[in-house]
Structure 1
Amino acid sequence: MVKKNIIVIVLLIVSNISFGQKYSTRTGNIAFEASVPSFEEVAAKTNTASAVLDASKGDFAVLALIKGFRFKVALMEEHFNENYVESAKYPKATFKGNIADFNLAKVTDKPMTVTITGELTLHGKTKKIIHNATISKSGGAIVVKGAFDVKPQDFDIEIPSVVSKKIADNIEVTYDLTLSK
């Protein structure tokens, strides 16, 4: 009886692995650029974002821990976490969405453009985001790359007037995610 249950469990696990449509990563790259010409660079990146793609539905989700973003200047990173995005109070940013008309069978090693629609939650606020991205296969992995702009005021992130001229009104967010089964 115990042997039979173990065999059933193993078969369920193997079938889930073989036919599973979920691709994921915990080492996704996300960066943002908020620099203004003639001033110090305002940019950060993380390579610890988590992402999941349900290839059967095209559902796509990304999570980034705010404290995972690294700046060239440590003081800028400190101000970002403590004064702007308040990472102790709002520790993560999430995106939950869908890739329109996603069909895994059509994904090849040649990047194709797709439209992703979803909701970005940052600093306790949620905003609908629609943007184009590219998707391709690399070995057994799915690579999703994209970019979109956000405005700090859309997420109730206050930029003090003293530095407001040094930070772009539109902040470009880019991502490069290699998702594996």
Structure 2
Amino acid sequence: MKKIYILLFLSFGYTQAQEKLITKSGKITFEASVPSFEEVRATNESSSCVLNTTTGEIASLALMKGFRFKIALMEEHFNENYVESDKYPKATFKGVIEKFNLTVLDKNGKDFIIKGKLELHGKSKEISIPAKIKKTDKGIEILSDFSVNADDFAIEIPSVVSKKVSKKVNIKLEFILK
């Protein structure tokens, strides 16, 4: 696990410590529910994220086995059949917050676009997501709500449950960086 965090830091090169903010307790929630069927929703509250406040570069990592479902069987199917956690143990994002400027942040937040590459299930996709970023008493808060398509990451939904699980996956990020 420490190796993964070290890789996140090294991916930014060598800069001064005050230029980087980090969390190891970021919250990522995804939902692939379909109306009238059982909720397909999970949360990972141990995702990491590093932000270079000078360049706006940002990187995040989530271990797939860190996602928790209400129903244990869903969690088992998620790890074994959908994301194949033993083969593809993590999801990563590396990108940049466009026009990021730490000095303009306040408690009300500012809207930004984050562009970068999401890697999941052995596949990569360039994505662009909206984010609200603000200063709080706890640190810099990054909030985002966006969707990805399971097909883009070769995540197959078996035909037997295809009417119960959406291919459009809604993702919500909540990071507080210090």
Does TM, normalized by the shorter one, top 0.5?
yes
Deviation at 1:140, TM superposition (A): 5.7
Q: Which residue of 2 aligns with 1:106?
A: 104
Using structure 2 for the length normalisation, give the TM-score: 0.90
Alignment check: 8 A CA contact 2:138 2:176 kept = no
Deviation at 1:38, TM superposition (A): 0.6
CA distance in 2 between counterparts of 1:40 and 1:105 reads 44
Q: Which residue of 2 aligns with 1:170?
A: 168
CA distance in 1 between counterparts of 2:162 and 2:59 reads 31
More strand by share: 2
Identical counterparts, % of pairs = 52
Report SS of the residue matched to 1:147: strand
Q: Which amino acid aligns with 1:124?
A: G
Q: Which residue of 2 aligns with 1:57?
A: 55
Does 1:118 find its partner at 2:122? no
Once superposed, what is the RMSD of the aligned Cα atoms? Answer: 0.9
Does 1:156 find its partner at 2:141? no
Report SS of the residue matched to 1:87: coil
Q: Which residue of 2 aligns with 1:35?
A: 33
CA distance in 2 between counterparts of 1:140 and 1:152 reads 34
Segment drifting more, 137-146 vs 50-59: 137-146
CA distance in 1 between counterparts of 2:73 and 2:55 reads 43
Q: Which residue of 2 aligns with 1:78?
A: 76
Report SS of the residue matched to 1:61: strand
CA distance in 2 between counterparts of 1:95 and 1:85 reads 16
Report SS of the residue matched to 2:54: coil
Deviation at 1:48, TM superposition (A): 0.1
Q: Which residue of 2 aligns with 1:44?
A: 42
Matched pairs, number = 163
Deviation at 1:169, TM superposition (A): 2.4
Deviation at 1:158, TM superposition (A): 0.8
Structure 1 alignment gaps of length 5 or more: 1-15
CA distance in 2 between counterparts of 1:83 and 1:126 reads 19
Q: Which residue of 2 aligns with 1:4?
A: none
Alignment check: 8 A CA contact 2:118 2:127 kept = yes
Structure 2 alignment gaps of length 5 or more: 1-15
Using structure 1 for the length normalisation, give the TM-score: 0.88
